[in-house]
């Protein structure tokens, strides 16, 4: 009876052990501890982390792409994404924190930014909130984001499948992205 709670606990609930797993796997992809990894490595990394933080090995790539589109983190000019931005986007997506339909996401982002500024006033002064919830100017049409990249890959995949009349493989689509690394 003492172990009943432990044995019946929902492992999909986020806990400290999930943060430890994320940090451990991130370190494999960022051995120099720069706090940044290439966005294609981020996809591979998230496939190596079990849900609810990562996607897991059994997650279909189209579903993973859809999650990445929703996460929509900014991509630096060198093609990298930031540790803090990625972690918070994963947590936000997993727990549905201020997540709304696409047309309402700018408003939800601003509400979340205001809430975080109230909770962490010192972090807000240092512009740390911008890492957690990127501002709109970081996500605008002139800037590259993870969401735009993976939305483009989904469009390309659907075009190829429709053109050939069959399902094309994930690797042929992803190979287009690797040379930019």
> Nearest-CA neighbor of 90 among 135, 23, 159?
23
The Cα 154–Cα 150 span in angstroms is 6
Residue 91 lies in a domain: yes
CATH number of 58's domain: 1.10.238.10
Residue 33 lies in a domain: yes
pLDDT tens-place string over residues 130-160: 888 887 777 777 889 999 999 999 999 899 8
Q: Are 106 and 180 in contact (CB under 8 A)?
A: no
pLDDT tens-place string over residues 2-51: 444 434 445 567 788 888 999 999 999 999 999 999 999 989 999 999 88
Residue 1 lies in a domain: no
Range of the domain at 63: 11-180
Count of domains in the chain? 1
Residue 138 lies in a domain: yes
């Amino acid at each position: 009876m003492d172990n009943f709670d432990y044995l019946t606990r929902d492992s999909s609930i986020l806990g400290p052990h999930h943060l430890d797993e994320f940090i451990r796997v991130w370190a494999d992809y960022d051995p120099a501890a720069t706090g940044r990894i290439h966005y294609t490595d981020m996809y591979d990394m998230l496939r190596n982390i079990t849900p609810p933080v990562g996607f897991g090995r059994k997650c279909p790539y189209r579903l993973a792409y859809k999650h990445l589109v929703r996460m929509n983190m900014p991509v630096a000019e060198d093609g990298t994404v930031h540790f803090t931005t990625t972690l918070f986007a994963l947590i936000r997506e997993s727990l549905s924190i201020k997540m709304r339909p696409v047309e309402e996401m700018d408003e939800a982002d601003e509400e979340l930014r205001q809430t975080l500024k109230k909770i962490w006033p010192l972090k807000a002064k240092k512009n740390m909130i911008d890492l957690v919830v990127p501002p709109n100017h970081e996500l605008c049409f002139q800037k590259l984001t993870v969401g735009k990249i993976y939305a483009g890959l989904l469009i390309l995949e659907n075009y190829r499948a429709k053109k050939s009349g069959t399902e094309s493989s994930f690797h042929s689509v992803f190979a287009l992205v690797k040379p930019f690394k």
